Amino acid sequence: MSSVPQASSPEVLTGTPARSGSMKEDRRRALYWSYFFLVLFAVFFLTPPIYMLITSLKSSAEIGAITNPWFVYHPTLDNYTALLGSEQYLTFFKNSAVVSVVVVIITMLISIPAAFALARMKFWGSATLGMGVFLTYLIPETLLFIPLFKIFAWVQDLTGIEVMNHYWVLMFIYPTLTVPFCTWIMIGYFASIPKELDEAALIDGAGYLQMLTKIFIPVALPGIIAATIFAFTVSWADFLYPMAFTTSADQLVLPAGIVTILIRGDVYAWGQIMAACLLGALPPLLIYAFLMDYYIAGLTAGATKG
Amino acid sequence: MAQVNLRRLVKTYDDTPAVRGIDLDIPDKEFVVLVGPSGCGKTTTLRMIAGLEDITEGDVVIGDEVVNDVPPKDRNIAMVFQNYALYPHMTVRENMSFGLRLKKFPKDDIERRVQNAARILDIGELLERKPKQLSGGQRQRVAMGRAIVRDPKVFLFDEPLSNLDAKLRVQMRTEIKKVHQKVRTTTVYVTHDQVEAMTLADRVVVMNGGRIEQVGAPNELYHSPVSKFVAGFIGSPAMNFLPCTLEEAGALRVRLNEAIALPVPQDRTARYRPLLGKQDLQLGLRPEHIVDARAQLEPGQHAFEATIDVAEPMGMETLAYFQVNGVDVCARVHPNAGAAAGARLRLAADMSCMHLIDGATGRVL
């Protein structure tokens, strides 16, 4: 009878009816699917840390009891206080921090000049070298750690210096992972800086070092921060190398330390393992939170001109 | 202040020649514009003067010194780039003073120079802003300011107005001319826009295929081009080129087709008569020299009739296009001359401004 559309009909909500195949309809469908997959991924990736958080707030007795594993009946911070009172855990934390910070510094000291040279100072073989740098990143660490182990053993035999079983040895090993990737992403970033900028600097009287320090590093700061975050995360979270190269409790870094002291034979201190992992995830999380804007800018830079 | 001399300048990239032997003398304080189509070698020449490209052969002389092996920073030049090339992380003041700070100039001297340049360019209020907070025109001024503060021997401009919109380009063109009148520094300016070249230059250098086609004052190039290329490149709309033959029928005439034969001006008959019977000649006549015929023709004008194909009203005039022997010809007629598609119009060619071109060599005869 009435030609007035129902209040809930799509015509009223969107103003004009969306025809099948129209832009509006396409966009809505694309958004639905985007939300579907985003929620799916968020649930998939956030479930483990939430489960870790829940478990870390339980006592060993409650973890062992047959109750709903997703609910805490008697929350306790005992796992956290035990860890923070444990000198060993704090040593792992300190070792990890020292290794990661030094690796970031070493990586930047090598990657920034290397990327600048490969991106800007065209020289014989620069393109091949750039590709070579990237290819080294493609070699997985599971393939590298045995030859590296042999090299360090050989160095130890040759020089008599005990290089194994020291956390500082990781400072030399992690750059094999971080330098190629950081160099590669910074080559891309430096290459996106207009060439006229270095020519203007050359005419203004800058040498290559001044050009790097006064122009390229400030302009490419988002890219450098992105690379820094990557280098820090890799060296903070790596598991295989510390397991292979360090054994003494006082030389372990967090990832290796947690599984070494909190898993005794077949006894798992689940509550403390979860608390230790969550505490261990805090520093990268804080760095991401503070530098996220720069990180995003770094990842997207060079995608468009200007 | 200094003169710039280019001596047999050659640049090749992997056996591909970009500049094929250029000789050019630019006196002190002169504003020279290198103009030509893309790939003609004008920017490469400028970059060789700046020291940003190695020289394959020949010499670049600035002042009295051959600077082939002198790095850009020691050539005492300043360059303004097409995309401004401002340092994005620095303020306008820092951008302008960067070169001076690197050279450890005294702080008060730097400040004085920056203020002076800012006054010349009227950018005093922008000194604390970052480039991203500036409009295109303001950025270009800052780029010029960066050049001015250094008080260089030579200014080099590499298509500095190409990124600006049409209105701003005209405005900045005037600004550049004003700045040159104030500072009187020897200037080499590269552009592909012949209007820019004509309006700015003391002398224009027309380049083509890595060579100089012609060097001359703007009016000289316009009125006396030495080649078909220069004749066609300078002037907008471009000069018309019509295949023709010379004939002697009482007087020497240029025959375009069976219907149209136009007399050669008296003062040129002696020059052109030896070309009687020569094949592959072309008549060059600018659109402004083909106008609607009034009842009383001006001296030198000769009337003919044409059917208009397309009319483009421009306000103060109308561009009327018609064909002669299948070749499009453009005429500039009065807006009220009745130019419209299909209209038959009586036109007058000013033969005193004609050019006769050897079609085979492209040289103006």
Across the interface, whether the CB atoms of B87 and A210 are under 8 A apart is answered no
CB B97, CB B114: distance < 8 Å: yes
Across the interface, whether the CB atoms of A203 and B99 are under 8 A apart is answered yes
Using an 8 Å CB-CB cutoff, list residues of chain A that contact chain B.
194, 196-197, 199-206, 210, 214-215, 218-219, 221
Q: What is the mean pLDDT of residues A11-33?
A: 72
Domain boundaries, chain B: 4-233, 240-358
Structure tokens belonging to residue B194: 């012949």
Neighboring chain B residues of A205 at a CB cutoff of 8 Å: 73, 99, 102-103
Neighboring chain A residues of B72 at a CB cutoff of 8 Å: 199, 202-203
Which contacts of B315-319 are long-range, i.e. CB under 8 A and separated by 24 or more positions?
A: B319/B237, B319/B287
Amino acid making up residue A244: A
pLDDT higher than 50, residue A8: no
Residue spans of chain B under pLDDT 70 = 1
Question: Measured between alpha carbons, how far is residue A142 from residues A150, A235, A260, B35, B89 in Å?
Answer: 14, 15, 20, 61, 42
CA distance B221 to A282: 73
Neighboring chain B residues of A200 at a CB cutoff of 8 Å: 79, 81, 85-87, 146
Nearest to A196 among B71, B77, B85 (CB): B85
CB B250, CB B261: distance < 8 Å: no
Structure tokens belonging to residue B25: 């003398």
- Number of Cβ within 10 Å of residue A120's Cβ equals 18
| Residue B7 neighbours by CB under 8 Å, 6+ apart | B23, B58, B59, B60, B61
pLDDT band at A18 (very low <50, low <70, confident <90, very high): low
pLDDT of residue B287: 93
Nearest to B52 among A199, A210, A218 (CB): A199
pLDDT of residue A297: 59
pLDDT higher than 70, residue A20: no
Which ipTM value was assigned to this complex?
0.81
> What are the φ and ψ backbone dihedral angles of A252, each rounded to 5 degrees?
-80, 150
| Residue A201 neighbours by CB under 8 Å, 6+ apart | A210, A211, A214, A215, B87, B98
Homologous superfamily (CATH) of B240-358 is Nucleic acid-binding proteins (2.40.50.140)
pLDDT of residue A21: 64
Q: Is B81 on the interface with A (CB under 8 A)?
A: yes
- Number of Cβ within 10 Å of residue A37's Cβ equals 10
What is the average pLDDT score of chain A?
85
Q: Across-strand partners of B17?
A: B12
pLDDT higher than 60, residue A302: no
pLDDT band at A296 (very low <50, low <70, confident <90, very high): low
pLDDT of residue A295: 61
CATH-assigned architecture of domain B4-233: 3-Layer(aba) Sandwich (3.40)
pTM of the predicted structure, to 2 decimals: 0.79
